[in-house]
Each structure stands twice: as C-alpha cells, then as structure tokens.
Structure 1
Amino acid sequence: MAASTLMLLALALPTAAWPGLGLPRRPCVHCCRPAWPPASPGPYAHVSARDPWWGLPRVRPTIDISILKGEKGEAGVRGRSGRSGEEGPPGFRGPQGRKGQKGQAGPPGAPCQRAYAAFSVGRREGLHSGEDLQAVPFDTELVNLDGAFDLASGRFRCAVPGVYFLSLNVHTWNHKETYLHVMLNRRPTAVLYAQPSERSVMQAQSLLLPLAAGDTVWVRMFRRDRDNAIYGERGDLYITFSGHLVKPDAEL
C-alpha cells in the first residue's frame, strides 16, 4: 500500500520537487530523439544546426589490422616455368675489359711450302728459217727446275699454275730480217722484230703471262718474203729464253 502511494506522488509532483523529497532526479529525454547520437552518421547524412549533436566531433572507430595478422605460412610448391618472351633489342656495348695475361707459346707450325718454277735456256748456233713457221730449239740449259723445259722441242710445260715472267733475247743477222713470236700454246702473245740492216744488234722482248697447268710457251720463227735469221756462234751465247713463276694461283 505504501509503495503504491509513493508511486502516485512521484507521478503527480513536478520534477523540481524531487530533490526536496530525497528522490533521484532523472534526466529529461526527448521522446522523439535517441538519448545518444548515432555512432557514425554517414558522410552524406543531413545534419541541421538545430540538431543537439550538430557541434560535437564525430567519433570513428578504428581497428588495428596488425593484431589480426596471423603467422607466415610455409612456401607452396613451385609452379611450372612460363613461356619464354620475345627476344629484346641488343643492349649497348659494355666498357672494354682489362687486358688479359699473355698466353703460352704454341707449338711451331709446319714450314711454309712455296711453289717454285723457273727455266733459262740458250742457243749457241745461229738459225735460218727454212719454213713459214718454225719452232726455235735450244742447245744450252742454264736453269731447268724439275726438267719442265724440253730443249729439243723448245717448249716449257707449266706444272705450277700462276703468273710467269718471260723474256727473249736474240742477236740480229746482218742484212737479214728478224721476226719471232713468243707463243702460248698455239697463240702468239708478243713479237720480237728487227728490219734488215748493215749492222747487227741485240733485240729483247719480255712480258708477264698467266699460265694454267699444262700450258706451253715457246719461240716461233715466222718467215715471210725475206730471209729470217738469228745470229749465233759457238764461243758466245747470243740467244736466250727465260721464265720464272712470279706468284702461284694459290696466293692470288
């Protein structure tokens, strides 16, 4: 009964009279608004200046993620290698490195094998042409490497192909024509000529010829309407024909 009477008095009396009665004072709460502002209004929420929480700072809770991070796990199985990419452009040339140490001397090489070919022959007796075309034979051998020159036929047969130097020297006969050809196989390549004269003279012809293996070079007398002759005597050597290899084909 006493409890019911006190409750009725509390509801009937105004709040200003509560301290006098020794009753605790309750805060005034508006019935249409919450007792505390929302924890974190959205960034686009409309807040009016008449709102009682308009001037208060907004409290945004943060969570320390590091305290939630677990321990590092074990490494997984390595996957298969991917496809090779396209080759890139070459890079810039790097700086020159330091000079290396001198290496050891190697074994001696094989001696250089040089090719040689040469001949020099002469004729001591004079010769008159008895036919229109006549090969000049020789009777004196000065140099004849490997026997490549045949004195009887007056021909040198090439065994080492290359470039050869050839020279022909004769003495003319008084009042007779001198008409000779330096022949390559069957083709005349150079002529040695002197007109008939009261005085005999020395005549010379020289040339370079490329010779292949098996080619022959020789001297031919060519007779026309005059007597063709070259002078010679047993005591001296007036007629000479010489040649030597200048450079083999292997070195050209």
Structure 2
Amino acid sequence: MGGYYGMAVLVGVALLLKAAQYDASCDGRPGAAGSPGRDGWAGVKGEKGEPDAAMADSSVEQGVLQRMKGELGSRGLQGVIGQKGFRGDLGAAGDPGQPGPHGPEGRSIGLGQDASQHAVSAFSVIRTDSSYPRYNQPVTFQTTLVNKPGDFTAATGYFTCRVPGVYYFTFHSGAKVSMCLRLASDALTDNPLGFCDYNRNSDQVLSGGAVLQLTVGQKVWLESFKDRQTDSETRDTQEKSIIFNGFLLFS
C-alpha cells in the first residue's frame, strides 16, 4: 500500500510543475496548497547492538562487576557419588627409625647352650629301710627310679630347685604301725604340711601332696614327726616303704 501512496505523491508533484509552467505563460493564479500527507509505516526493527566497550574491557574493576551480579541462588542437591578411584602406587620406604632401648636381662634357667631344650625337673625315689624314720629329720631313700636332671639327692633326702617355677610333690607310705609324715620346704617355713594315719591292727597307707612355687636354691624334703605314736611303734622293724615324687609343672 505504501507503493500506491508514493505514486500519488509523484502525480501531485507533476501537476504542480505543470501549473507552474502554465503560470509563466498565462495570466492565472497559483492553486491552493494540498493537505499534508499521512505518516509513513514503521520501519523494520534493527539488529541488536554490540556490548558496551567498557563492559567488555578486562580492566573494569571486579567490584563493579560483582555489584552487577544477581543474588546467589539456593544450594542444589548433592550429586551422585562417583566411583572409587584406583589405588595409588606404593610410596617409597621411609627412613629407618632409631633403635629402641635394651630390654631387661633375661633369667637363666640352667638350660646350658642348647636353648631349644625345654626346662625339665623330675624325680621318684623309694625308701626300703624297715626302721622307723627319725622324728624331725629328712627321710633318706635307697632306690632312685627317676632323677632328671639330678636335682634330688637320695642320701640326704633333699630336692634342690634349679629351675624356678611351679612344682607338684606327692608321697605314699605303707607300714603296719602308725605313721606321720610332713612335706617340708623353705617355701613352707610357717605352714608345713603334715599327714598322719594310725594303726588299727592292719596295714596303714598314708598319702599326701602339694603344689609349690619355688625359686632357685629352695629345698623340699619329707620328714617324720611325733603325734600320737607310741614308743613301741617307733621301735618297730617290720617292712615299711615310702615313695616320694616331684616334678616341674611349668617354669
């Protein structure tokens, strides 16, 4: 429609020019001015302009840009945890540390040079003398069944501790008269263990035993003691036997 409007304008201009030519050769008067034309239609929207050079320049202060930013949004949800990464290579070995202090000196248990040998101590002896054992004296023995490694002395009746530890001692006696025996030791100075069996016109069997903890050098022995025996019993010469045993439980 704008084309038709332009055409009308051109026709109007041509008529004015023709009238002017006519005025020059004829005695006429100028015609009346035409009415103003209407406004034209709006043009096509132009393209978006380039950003401000000041904003694009990296020299703009960060504070200005920070103030131009919008408000911080709310924190989003945590994302899915990723897969575990591969194990890294083993690092180089560190420098060796300082040597530690010396430990306490060990105790000798008499094993000699062969440390692989276990500590042992055991004995079993028999008294075959038919005489009545003397009161308050160590009982001596005539037959040795076991004595490893030799901690018991049959002639004196003493066991001497060589390996410190816990031991078990036991004895058995058989006689036709009353008998009282006690297990004596350096470790039992305040409480010796006494056992008695009294004659009832039959063979008497007496037994006793104890577990003792000994240190090196302590002794253990059997001895007879007076209780209710008669003088005639102490003079008895009938067959008698006493068996004395002992061994190390653990050092």
When the two structures are superposed, what TM-score results if normalisation uses the length of structure 1?
Answer: 0.50
More helix by share: 2
When the two structures are superposed, what TM-score results if normalisation uses the length of structure 2?
Answer: 0.50
